[in-house]
Chain A
Amino acid sequence: SQELEQSPQSLIVQEGKNLTINCTSSKTLYGLYWYKQKYGEGLIFLMMLQKGGEEKSHEKITAKLDEKKQQSSLHITASQPSHAGTYLCGADAWVYGGSQGNLIFGKGTKLSVKP
């Protein structure tokens, strides 16, 4: 099974609408990283969460880590075409038995915003 599950896999919203993307871990998280990727390009770092209940915002994007540190949500307010892309969550690999310093990633959520 997947260590990091993202939902939904894809999402189409009308411009101006709010939306939420979820990332669920099979283990308690130490650090949770959100990235955005435009098609065929690299990942752009958005924000990192470490503490249970922590919430961070970047422009109209807000991410939160739940108290149990096993789920994170990414919320976009008043979506715009510039928000379109694939959003990936990442976590420290050592939590899942991997090497210190590595990250593992979910499969991503593809967001399309219709004008």
Chain B
Amino acid sequence: ETGVTQTPRHLVMGMTNKKSLKCEQHLGHNAMYWYKQSAKKPLELMFVYSLEERVENNSVPSRFSPECPNSSHLFLHLHTLQPEDSALYLCASSRSRGLAKNIQYFGAGTRLSVL
């Protein structure tokens, strides 16, 4: 148990569906992250939130829309996805982005399949 919970663990959706991924952290952290993990590729950072403000968007297509209503919760809203978006989506949190020791704690991930 890492203190970061992601739901659902598995999701299958059609290209015209709209769905959301949820992440909740119980660590009192101020920063939260969304990553995409595809086979044989390094982890790709998608979005970063610090104190509920989006501070980074790494050229992610607009069909992915993040939301951070408070420092404990992070959502990733999905719509009109493509089959190449199938991947493991990981959420992470860290105490603060400004710290020298920025250990990130990860959730178990959501395995997304787009048909």
A: residues with CB less than 8 A from B are 2, 4, 30-31, 33, 35, 40-45, 48, 50, 88, 90, 92, 99-108
Contact of A43 among B50, B90, B102 (CB under 8 A): B90
Query: Considering the chains assembled together, what is the distance between the CA atoms of A29 and B61 in angstroms?
Result: 31
Shortest Cβ distance from residue B6 to the other chain A in the assembled complex, whole angstroms: 8
In the complex, the answer to whether B2 meets A101 with C-beta atoms within 8 Å is no
Could you say which residues of chain A place their CB within 8 Å of the CB of B4? 42
Could you say which residues of chain A place their CB within 8 Å of the CB of B111? 40
Query: Considering the chains assembled together, what is the distance between the CA atoms of A19 and B88 in angstroms?
Result: 28
Identify which of A2, A42, A92, A107 gathers the most chain B CB atoms within 10 Å of its CB: A42
Could you say which residues of chain B place their CB within 8 Å of the CB of A88? 43
Contact of B43 among A41, A44, A105 (CB under 8 A): A105
In the complex, the answer to whether B48 meets A42 with C-beta atoms within 8 Å is no
Could you say which residues of chain B place their CB within 8 Å of the CB of A44? 2, 106
| Shortest 7 CB-CB contacts between residues of A and residues of B | A101-B97, A42-B106, A43-B106, A42-B108, A105-B43, A41-B108, A42-B109
Could you say which residues of chain B place their CB within 8 Å of the CB of A43? 90, 92, 106
Contact of A101 among B41, B50, B106 (CB under 8 A): B50
Q: Is B60 an interface residue (CB 8 A)?
A: no
Could you say which residues of chain A place their CB within 8 Å of the CB of B33? 102
Besides the contacts A41-B108, A102-B56, what 12 more A-B pairs have beta carbons closer than 8 Å? A42-B6, A44-B2, A88-B43, A90-B104, A92-B102, A100-B97, A101-B94, A101-B102, A102-B33, A102-B45, A103-B45, A106-B42
Query: Considering the chains assembled together, what is the distance between the CA atoms of A53 and B98 in angstroms?
Result: 25
CB-CB nearest in chain B for A50: B101
Contact of A40 with B88 at beta-carbon distance under 8 Å, contacts A101-B48, A102-B45 already known: yes
Could you say which residues of chain A place their CB within 8 Å of the CB of B90? 42-43
